[in-house]
Chains A and B, each alone.
Chain A
Amino acid sequence: MKERMNSRHDLDQLLNAEAQQGVAKLVRDLKDEEPDMAWRAALSSKIMEQSVAVQRRRKFNFFLKPASGLALASCLALVVVVSTQRPQTVPSNPAPAVASASIEKLIIDEHQNVAYATDVSGVGLAQPEANYERAPRVADDPILVDFFQL
């Protein structure tokens, strides 16, 4: 049987049909694989390279922009003045304040820390135990563990 559909309304109806929704659900349920560690390491390394390039470009732009509307001599002079008088404004190593990570991310991290904790030491002290038993400020309360800092 063939049907001919030629309006948006009909198309919406078609898309909401049981068979179409059934396919959609099966597609939605397909699993995605997490990239492997080597892939992530390679990407991190490339991003770090890019980060260095960004810092270099920022430095370059800092010097280039003030010079753009002036003659070469004025430009050089300006660069000298800027670079000698206001060196502290050059973002040579910008380290933006690390915003506190979301509680959701920390929950996932902590779950994984639990899994790794015993993988590392087995029968011995797990990392959180080592952390709080070492720290005098929480010695009076052994359940206080600064796990988010691990």
Chain B
Amino acid sequence: MNDLATESALIDRCRKQDPKAFADFIDLYQARVLGFVKRMVENSEDAADVTQEVFIRAYQNFHRFDQRSSVRTWLFRIAHNLCIDRARKTDRRLKTASLSYSDEDGDEVIDVQDTRWEPETMALDNELATVIERGIGELSEKLRPVLLLHDREDMAYEEIAELLQIPVGTVKSRLFLARAHLQQVLTNYWNGDVVPSRKGVTS
């Protein structure tokens, strides 16, 4: 059976707001959307609520989905917007900078700290996963979605640029900075330093 044809048939049925097809659609995306939202909103109860809202919005608006972007881009755009809304409502303060850069015109100027470490020696055990999750939580609302969409969702730069409505160059610079921050967090962890508290990284 053709994969694309199967997915296309499912989306066609979802566009007709067929609840059975939409249940299959939820099955496909629920864990990934919840994972994204959890890392965006921090509070797990909020994350569960927001993720439900993502799917409800998707169901309500599926008939308007014009397939100009992929369904994944469309769904994560809903998720991202709702996460940002939720963050605004909970008055989450923007974080202070610890890495300097300018990304607004896509002509990046980046100061890079040389942090020597050996990623190949790191296995992803529970403790390390916790360190990384904390590091992700410290990222600003601009850096975090780029990292999650690229490194977890495996989205192309162009797809992320379309989703977040920013230039491709900005996507790359934000991705670089997000990873650089995690690299710093991991280096601290690796050196036995205290894992940084939520002082944050921002744009």
Contact = CB atoms under 8 A, between A and B. Distances in A.
Interface of A: 1-6, 8, 11-12, 14-15, 18-35, 39-40, 42-44, 46-48, 50-51, 54, 94, 96, 98-99, 101-105
Say what secondary structure dominates the interface of chain B. Answer: helix
Given A11-B176, A32-B34, A33-B31, A2 B111 contact: yes
A5 B108 contact: yes
Contact of B19 (A26, A42, A47): A47
10 contacts: A6-B109, A14-B176, A19-B119, A24-B151, A35-B30, A39-B51, A43-B52, A43-B55, A48-B19, A104-B1
Interface stretch (B70-78, B122-130, B193-201): B122-130
A27 B1 contact: no
B48 A6 contact: no
Given A11-B172, A27-B151, A31-B129, A43 B119 contact: no
A23 B119 contact: yes
Interface in B163-200: 169, 172-173, 175-176, 179-180, 182-183, 186
B60 interface: yes
Contacts of A23: 119, 151, 179, 182-183, 186
Contact of A15 (B9, B27, B175): B175
B24 to A, nearest CB: 7
A42 to B, nearest CB: 7
